[in-house]
């Protein structure tokens, strides 16, 4: 940060020598994007704070009716909720930027501890879903572009729309019904069976990411168990994004197939399949990278629903629990954290997009 | 202000220029098939919603008839074609009534977000300045945020969770509205900023037209080309968000209205014990409605984009696309 104070126009990436013309923009671009995270997070946290306080203080919301008015006042006094709202706001913002999200009301745990405990599970689920989305969406998108306007293309497009049109909880319930209840191939719910969970609990420093922890126990049964539990939730959530990828790849490959360099390759006798796979494929991937940022927001929203469907104990699952116990401090904390995650992942995606495609930088 | 503009129309009758009719005539082959399938599904959905009182054998909150209680989790039978839920409601009736709730929420949510988003977009883009910058940053922040979470927060604020029919529908609709406003805002603002620099706006200014007149007669009417697409996308997203809200327990109470998401939430436990009928029908209803609306939206999108449009004779070639672009240029009014 010190370099910026000395001279804002100097290149920020430190590579003053041997710079290719225009290449120095990247450092500035990254810095601008990084600084843009702050207002985004700030606005979201502020918005959530204001909205949640419009309905009164969290203590009354959570415990009202169960405690006498005197006891409520006492609790409010102790938590500082009867001070002016802007004092509370300033304090809250300060706490959020130091990573302190307050203490839950219903079970009196620090919100940051809740976030750490359950965050790993959600990250794991979103990661698996992205894998499903890539593995399903990209090849099918290429296929649809290759077989453009034939019946295969039409059915793939309908499949993509179906992926979008099916709520994750409904596809989750159907998968569960078929593969767990009727066929009995996969477990019904949860992140691992009881025996594996006990094994994982015995680890010294559990990461919260079950797959890593399962490998650390050294018992392959645990690994298989964890993976088997992840299959259905990952498919349910992953298909949502797979449909988006399929459509994007199809549209973009068709777009690139009309370009002149493709015509020139075709005139040299390159086959259609090879054209799609080698020539039109890579340029079509850039838009995918740029939409992943938005997809992560979508996946996090979907994770709330998937986790409820499969009792996958992640942030979404616990969010719904806290919602039903009207514990709005916890809700506020979880929502704020998700806002940070979305902002940061958008930042990372923007940077990757800029590294791959120089035209993005401005 | 009083003079209503007379539609002068150089390109065929009014009927053939109506939104969907024009596209229907333009489409061929598979694209027409998708558009027609979508329109049929949407029509069925709207009919079901309108005729719900006639179609549904029972009320959505009805637990008993002359012959006694319906009973809980009864498999499909002659009396209950789709079976009964864990609370003892008739699944068929709740699925049919659910269409009504969905239509109400879509109409309210889409109308509100359209009006607010478009107005904000035009004003913000036309006048610019600090307010514009703040609105852009706020809308970008909302746009990037998981919409379901925002809708949950909004519904807590509006109703503190569950509520009556009108309250529930309004709170769901408002929650969805807040999520959608940024989409209209972004599109209309971007178009406004672009159109503002065009020569015809300058001329209007020179003639001495007021800002209001320029905004609504010259800018707004040229800035709305992409709105039908966003509208269909939003309608389907509204259903999914409503169902999502119901699924996490922040929707409409079962005694106030039938809501598919709530019914699916109650069926989680059923599925684990092999009871399929409580989950299947409300879920299918959501899928079919969203599918229908999306098919219409997708087809409109493809037909609006010359690169993706299938042509009557030859498949679009670069030359054809170029002519199509020229036509687009010519179509620019005023």
Q: Which of B292, B27, B40, B31 is nearest to A154 (CA)?
A: B31
Best A170, A240, A257 member to test B by mutation, with max B CBs in 10 Å, is A170
| Percent of chain A whose pLDDT exceeds 70 | 86
Rounded Cα–Cα distance for residues B189 and B227 (Å): 12
Instruction: Pick the range with the lowest mean pLDDT from A220-224, B117-121, B164-168.
Output: B164-168
Q: Which of B330, B248, B235 is nearest to B291 (CA)?
A: B235
| Percent of chain B whose pLDDT exceeds 90 | 1
Kindly give, in sequence order, each residue whose CB lies less than 8 Å from that of residue B283, ignoring residues fewer than 6 positions away: A166, A167, A170, A173, A174, B260, B264
Q: Provide the token pair at B88.
A: 């003892």
Please answer yes or no on whether A167 and B243 come within 8 Å at the CB atom.
yes
Identify the pLDDT of residue A217.
Answer: 75
- Closest partner residue to A173 (CB to CB) among B141, B244, B267 is B267
Tell me phi and psi for residue A64, to 5 degrees.
-55, 135
Instruction: Pick the range with the lowest mean pLDDT from A5-14, A93-102, A107-116, A302-311.
Output: A5-14
Please answer yes or no on whether B279 and A177 come within 8 Å at the CB atom.
yes
Q: Is residue A61 very low, low, confident or very high in pLDDT (cuts 50, 70, 90)?
A: low
Rounded Cα–Cα distance for residues A240 and B49 (Å): 27
Which residue is listed with tokens 């061929």? B28
- CB contacts, 8 Å: B315 with chain A: 149
- CB contacts, 8 Å: A331 with chain B: 153, 156
Is 80 exceeded by the pLDDT of residue B106? yes
- Closest partner residue to B294 (CB to CB) among A164, A170, A300 is A164
- CB contacts, 8 Å: B236 with chain A: 164-165
Please answer yes or no on whether B145 and A149 come within 8 Å at the CB atom.
no
Identify the pLDDT of residue B312.
Answer: 53
- Closest partner residue to A51 (CB to CB) among B153, B161, B283 is B153
Is 80 exceeded by the pLDDT of residue B238? yes
**pLDDT tens, position by position, B183-226:** 888 888 888 888 888 888 888 888 877 887 887 777 877 777 77
Q: Is residue B34 very low, low, confident or very high in pLDDT (cuts 50, 70, 90)?
A: confident
Does the beta carbon of A167 lie under 8 angstroms from any beta carbon of chain B?
yes
What's the full length of chain A, in residues? 362
- Closest partner residue to A170 (CB to CB) among B142, B147, B264 is B264
The nearest CA of chain B is from the CA of A49 a distance in Å of: 10
Instruction: Pick the range with the lowest mean pLDDT from B13-22, B70-79, B87-96.
Output: B13-22
Element (H, E) at B65: strand B64-65
- Closest partner residue to B286 (CB to CB) among A55, A167, A300 is A167
Is 50 exceeded by the pLDDT of residue B117? yes
- Closest partner residue to A342 (CB to CB) among B34, B144, B247 is B144
Is 50 exceeded by the pLDDT of residue A84? yes
Q: Provide the token pair at A153.
A: 């293309």
- Top pLDDT among A244 and A79 is at A244
- Closest partner residue to A297 (CB to CB) among B140, B144, B247 is B144
Q: Is residue B163 very low, low, confident or very high in pLDDT (cuts 50, 70, 90)?
A: low
Tell me phi and psi for residue A205, to 5 degrees.
-120, 80
Identify the pLDDT of residue B19.
Answer: 63
Identify the pLDDT of residue A247.
Answer: 85
Which residue is listed with tokens 């700030």? A42
Identify the pLDDT of residue A16.
Answer: 40
Please answer yes or no on whether A48 and B146 come within 8 Å at the CB atom.
no
Q: Say how many C-beta atoms besides its own lie within 10 A of residue A27's C-beta.
A: 16
CA atoms within a 13 Å half-sphere pointing along the CA-CB vector of A185: 10
- Enter the ipTM: 0.77
Instruction: Pick the range with the lowest mean pLDDT from A39-43, A174-178, B1-5.
Output: B1-5
- CB contacts, 8 Å: A258 with chain B: 307, 318, 321
For chain A, the distance separating the N- and C-terminal CA atoms, rounded to the nearest angstrom, is 21
Helical segments of chain B, H only: 14-17, 19-26, 29-50, 52-55, 91-127, 129-144, 147-159, 165-196, 199-207, 211-213, 227-247, 260-266, 268-272, 277-304, 318-331
Q: Which residues in B33-56 are b (16+ Cβ under 10 Å) and which e?
A: ebbebbbebbeebeebbeebeeeb
Q: Which of A349, A350, A344, A333 is nearest to A102 (CA)?
A: A333
Q: Provide the token pair at A56.
A: 């009164």
**pLDDT tens, position by position, A265-304:** 878 877 777 777 777 777 777 777 777 777 887 888 888 8
Please answer yes or no on whether B153 and A48 come within 8 Å at the CB atom.
yes
The nearest CA of chain B is from the CA of A3 a distance in Å of: 27
Is 70 exceeded by the pLDDT of residue B134? yes
**pLDDT tens, position by position, B42-85:** 898 898 888 878 877 777 777 677 776 666 667 777 676 777 77
Please answer yes or no on whether B249 and A176 come within 8 Å at the CB atom.
no
Which residue is listed with tokens 């709520």? A167
Please answer yes or no on whether B244 and A326 come within 8 Å at the CB atom.
no
3-class SS of residue B311: coil
Does the beta carbon of A40 lie under 8 angstroms from any beta carbon of chain B?
yes
- CB contacts, 8 Å: A153 with chain B: 30
Instruction: Pick the range with the lowest mean pLDDT from A121-130, A145-154, A206-215.
Output: A206-215
Identify the pLDDT of residue B326.
Answer: 40
Chains A, B: CB contacts within 8 A come to 161
Q: Provide the token pair at A227.
A: 């993976």
| Percent of chain A whose pLDDT exceeds 90 | 2
Q: Which of A97, A169, A222, A210 is nearest to B280 (CA)?
A: A169
- Top pLDDT among B3 and B120 is at B120
Rounded Cα–Cα distance for residues A257 and A273 (Å): 11
The nearest CA of chain A is from the CA of B146 a distance in Å of: 5
Rounded Cα–Cα distance for residues A207 and A190 (Å): 17
| Chain B residue with minimum CA distance to A318 | B248
- CB contacts, 8 Å: B276 with chain A: 177
Given a contact cutoff of 8 angstroms between Cβ atoms, the answer to whether B173 and B109 are in contact is yes
Given a contact cutoff of 8 angstroms between Cβ atoms, the answer to whether A245 and A133 are in contact is yes
CA atoms within a 13 Å half-sphere pointing along the CA-CB vector of A109: 14
**CA B188 from centre of chain:** 17
Identify the pLDDT of residue B325.
Answer: 43
Q: Say how many C-beta atoms besides its own lie within 10 A of residue B204's C-beta.
A: 18
Q: Say how many C-beta atoms besides its own lie within 10 A of residue A264's C-beta.
A: 11
Instruction: Pick the range with the lowest mean pLDDT from A4-18, A171-185, A244-258, B221-235.
Output: A4-18
Is 60 exceeded by the pLDDT of residue A24? no
3-class SS of residue B87: coil
- Top pLDDT among B53 and B161 is at B53
Is 50 exceeded by the pLDDT of residue A15? no
Is 60 exceeded by the pLDDT of residue B5? no
Residues A42-56: what's their mean pLDDT? Answer: 78
Best B41, B146, B154, B244 member to test A by mutation, with max A CBs in 10 Å, is B146
3-state secondary structure chain A: CHHHHHCCCCCCCCCCCCCCCCCCHHHHHHHHHHHHHHHHHHHHHHHHHHHHHHCCCHHHHHHECCECHHHHHHHHHHHCCCCCHHHHHHHHHHHHHCCCCCECCCCCCEHHHHHHHHHHHHHHHHHHHHHHHHHHHHHHHHHHHHCCCCHHHHHHHHHHHHHHHCCHHHHHHHHHHHHHHHCCCCCCCCCCCHHHHHHHHCCCCCCCCHHHHHHHHCCHHHHHHHHHHHHHHHHHHHHHHHHHHHHHHHHHHHHHHCCHHHHHHHHCCCCHHHHHHHHCHHHHHHHHHHHHHHHHHHHHHHHHHHHHHHCCCCHHHHHHHHHHCCCHHHHHHHHHHHHHHHHHHHHHHHHHHHHHCHHHCC
Identify the pLDDT of residue A66.
Answer: 66
Identify the pLDDT of residue B164.
Answer: 59
| Chain A residue with minimum CA distance to B142 | A44
The nearest CA of chain B is from the CA of A52 a distance in Å of: 6
Q: Is residue A19 very low, low, confident or very high in pLDDT (cuts 50, 70, 90)?
A: very low
**pLDDT tens, position by position, A310-335:** 888 888 888 888 877 777 778 888 88
CA atoms within a 13 Å half-sphere pointing along the CA-CB vector of B242: 39
Does the beta carbon of A342 lie under 8 angstroms from any beta carbon of chain B?
yes
- CB contacts, 8 Å: B266 with chain A: none
Which residue is listed with tokens 């494929």? A281
C-alpha dihedral sign at A294, A296, A297, A302: positive
């Amino acid at each position: 940060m010190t370099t910026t104070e000395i001279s804002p126009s100097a290149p920020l990436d430190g590579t003053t020598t041997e710079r290719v013309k225009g290449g120095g923009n990247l450092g500035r671009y990254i810095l601008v994007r990084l600084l843009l995270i702050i207002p985004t997070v700030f606005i979201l946290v502020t918005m959530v704070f204001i909205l949640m306080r419009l309905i009164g203080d969290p203590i009354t919301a959570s415990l009202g009716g169960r405690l006498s008015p005197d006891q409520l006042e006492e609790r409010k006094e102790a938590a500082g909720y009867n001070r002016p709202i802007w004092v509370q706001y300033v304090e809250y913002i300060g706490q959020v930027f130091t990573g302190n999200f307050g203490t839950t009301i219903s079970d009196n745990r620090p919100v940051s501890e809740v976030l750490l405990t359950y965050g790993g599970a959600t990250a794991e689920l979103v990661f698996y879903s992205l894998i499903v989305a890539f593995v399903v969406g990209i090849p099918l998108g290429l296929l649809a572009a290759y077989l453009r306007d034939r019946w295969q293309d039409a059915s793939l497009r309908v499949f993509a729309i179906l992926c979008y049109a099916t709520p994750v909880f409904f596809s989750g319930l159907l998968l569960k019904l078929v593969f767990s209840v009727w066929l009995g191939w996969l477990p019904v719910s949860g992140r691992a069976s009881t025996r594996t969970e006990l094994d994982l609990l015995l680890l010294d420093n559990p990461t919260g990411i079950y797959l890593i922890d399962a490998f650390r126990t050294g018992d392959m049964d645990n690994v298989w168990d964890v993976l088997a539990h992840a299959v259905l939730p990952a498919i349910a959530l992953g298909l949502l994004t797979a449909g988006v990828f399929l459509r994007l790849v199809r549209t973009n490959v068709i777009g690139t197939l009309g370009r002149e360099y493709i015509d020139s390759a075709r005139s040299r006798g390159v086959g259609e399949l090879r054209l799609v796979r080698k020539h039109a494929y890579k340029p079509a991937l850039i838009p995918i990278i740029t939409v992943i940022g938005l997809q992560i927001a979508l996946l996090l929203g979907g994770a709330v629903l998937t986790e409820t469907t499969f009792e996958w104990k992640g942030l979404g699952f616990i969010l719904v629990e806290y919602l039903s116990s009207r514990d709005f401090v916890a809700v506020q904390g979880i929502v704020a954290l998700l806002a940070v995650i979305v902002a940061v992942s958008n930042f990372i995606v923007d940077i990757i997009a800029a590294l791959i495609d120089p035209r993005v930088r401005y | 202000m009083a003079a209503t503009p007379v539609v002068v129309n150089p390109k065929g009758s009014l009927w053939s220029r109506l939104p969907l009719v024009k596209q229907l005539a333009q489409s061929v082959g598979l694209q027409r098939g998708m558009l027609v399938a979508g329109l049929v599904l949407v029509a069925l959905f709207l009919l079901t919603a309108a005729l719900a009182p006639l179609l549904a054998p029972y009320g959505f909150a009805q637990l008993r008839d002359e012959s006694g209680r319906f009973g809980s989790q009864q498999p499909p039978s002659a009396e209950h074609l789709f079976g009964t839920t864990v609370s003892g409601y008739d699944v068929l009736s709740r699925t049919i009534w659910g269409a009504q709730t969905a239509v109400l929420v879509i109409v309210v949510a889409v109308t509100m977000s359209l009006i607010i988003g478009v107005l904000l977009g035009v004003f913000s883009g036309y006048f610019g300045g600090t307010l514009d910058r703040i609105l852009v940053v706020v809308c970008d922040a909302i746009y990037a945020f998981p919409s379901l979470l925002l809708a949950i927060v909004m519904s807590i604020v509006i109703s503190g969770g569950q509520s009556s029919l009108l309250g529930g529908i309004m709170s769901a609709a408002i929650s969805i509205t807040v999520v959608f406003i940024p989409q209209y805002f972004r599109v209309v603002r971007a178009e406004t900023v672009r159109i503002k620099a065009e020569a015809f706006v300058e001329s209007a200014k020179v003639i001495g037209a007021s800002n209001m007149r320029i905004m609504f007669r010259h800018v707004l009417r040229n800035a709305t080309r992409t709105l039908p697409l966003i509208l269909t996308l939003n309608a389907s997203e509204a259903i999914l968000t409503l169902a999502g809200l119901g699924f996490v327990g922040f929707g409409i109470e079962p005694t106030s209205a039938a809501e598919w998401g709530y019914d699916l939430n109650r069926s989680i436990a059923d599925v684990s014990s092999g009871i399929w009928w409580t989950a299947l029908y409300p879920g299918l209803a959501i899928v079919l409605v969203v599918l229908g609306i999306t098919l219409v939206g997708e087809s409109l999108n493809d037909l609006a984009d010359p690169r993706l449009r299938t042509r009557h004779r030859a498949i679009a070639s670069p030359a054809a696309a170029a002519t199509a672009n020229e036509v687009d240029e010519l179509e620019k009014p005023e």
